[in-house]
Chain A
Amino acid sequence: MQLAVWTYEGPPHVGAMRVATGMENVHYVLHAPQGDTYADLLFTMIERRDQRPPVTYTTFQARDLGSDTATLFQAAARDAYARFEPQAMLVGASCTAELIQDDPAGLAEAMGLPIPVVPLELPSYQRKENWGASETFYQLVRQLADQSVTPSAKEGRRPAANLLGPTALGFRHRDDVLEIERLLEKLGIDVNIVAPMGATPADIAQIGAADFNILLYPEIGDEAARWLERTFKQPVVRTVPIGVGATRDFIAEVAEIADVDPAPAMAEDGSRMPWWSRSIDSTYLTGKRVFIFGDATHAVAAARVAHEELGFKVCGLGCYNREFAREVRAAAKLYDVEPLITDDHLAVEEAIAEAQPELVLGTQMERHIAKRLGVPCAVISAPVHVQDFPARHSPQMGFEGANVLFDSWVHPLVMGLEEHLLTMFRDDFEFSDEAGASHLGPGHAAPPAASNDEAPAATGEAAAIAWAEDAERELKKIPFFVRGKARRNTELFASEQGRATIDLETLYDAKAHYAR
């Protein structure tokens, strides 16, 4: 048993729902008790969808157990087919129905519905949401793809690609797809289908008509992409175009596979991020410590952008989905940090507090952690929140996506000039540390002296070191948002040097030692 307060991922059938809800003309009959219908509100409230997810829940009750839950399933499937007339049906069980072993697959097959029925085996007690989405998409593609469909002769037509991975309830999937379609248009490449999002089962049947696949979200599309690679010999573009550098790599990879000229897309229309980052007002971003946590794909991409394109220092990197831990471990090596692979948000909170970052890039969960620690934060990954569905176009991918990253990561920080002003005015009687930083909004008072941020490092010998009164007074003159780091560094320095007391001398020696 695992003790969980908050979870990064839902159960695997929610992943299946994300696939079904993203598609058109598919219906999902889910063997499940009442209460599992809560999942509908994820789509109607968080994503503000104007239609119910295409899911029928059998809603069995205690009194049905052992008698006619199987009949209930068949009646629900029959009614759903009659009412919604889908082109294909997904059938499966939620966690409870998995235990009563009614075999939705066999029951549905016995009904002889005149449409393809795709049975889903999603082990709820082992797997989670992303895996469920991936498995569902893979099963759909495997069963619905018409293997006789292949690309037409190359002469006289533009190359065509499938975009794989976007679903309902995805982090900015809606906007990313638009951005990538624009890029492909500039390269003279057609989109055969986008799937699962927006695709019908009939579209999936035509998936083989594309020359290659573009895998936007490996967590969801990798399994299907690998099957397509084997079955249709479609090469896969695996670079995820988040950030300027990755977008350029992506364009190069696409151009090579499609045999087109990359130049029209490389022209970077609308890409302001490189200049914004070079502009002298961004100098203060140099070496800012950033802690990154999310799904593996977004976390790894964010680390590259933070390191190469904003000049941050990556001080922590991790993901909650073990399936992609290898990618995160490899990236962590690049930035010389210990990879954090966990789905326990308390462990993440500890790691963040320990790392004392100046910016957190994470999920909604890390946003709350950062709020408590008084550290600025930007959201880079699912699990999603209603705020992650902005009304405006706000992609993460492509050149416009890089612009969005610059704005959304840099704006939460205290700005460079603001830092100087705070230093200038720190002795002003009207200036109070307790007022906190205005950009964090009300309720974000600076942490009181006893909080995490400023408490002496409680680990190892550092805790035994005493602060002389004058050094303590001097420390108070440092702006609150760097004071915690200054204290920690000084204590570390003192313990390395074997000094028992921190006096003014030690404080400034440490400052010189850590000068960057």
Chain B
Amino acid sequence: MADEFHLVEKSRIMDGTRMKRALSRLANEIVEHNQGAKDLYIVGIRRRGVPLAERLSDKIEQLEGVRPLYGILDITLYRDDLSTVGANPIVNRTELDTDIEGKTIVLVDDVLYTGRTIRAAMDQLMDFGRPKKVQLAVLIDRGREHRELPIQADFIGKVVPTKQTEIIKVMLKEFDDVEAVGIFERPAEEPAKQG
């Protein structure tokens, strides 16, 4: 993967305020769709899905007065490119402290692109038990034409049609200096790699 520092920001599609609004709307949609927060289990996918899942949990708690269950998935060991990449990626911890059996899981990630990350997350979830439903919430959907698996999101902050050479970066205060979403491009021609 090319050095992140060589990426050039082409345009900014969300600032902090708009991100906050998008998350509020997503929280509303999740609650409305599931008729409350009962048996709702918000699961963030590392890394950037985790703070987003936390914020969605906060907002759902404000709306419903109860905090949904909350967990973290690290999908590294479930990736389908482990045998092809030169150096396997870093493993972090999965934290699902409550049984997922019979729960409505809302997977949360920052960007939906090829769908392969979500496939890995679902495979891992199934190893933990049999949830009642699994839904997907993403802040940014890069568009169906990039999908390599039949996976779509149930809750979408914003659809951003992109080229393969472009990279969407969701910047969060937990990892970055700013709260924003931008489209970046690398100078080289190799296709962008994003979950």
Pair from one complex: no
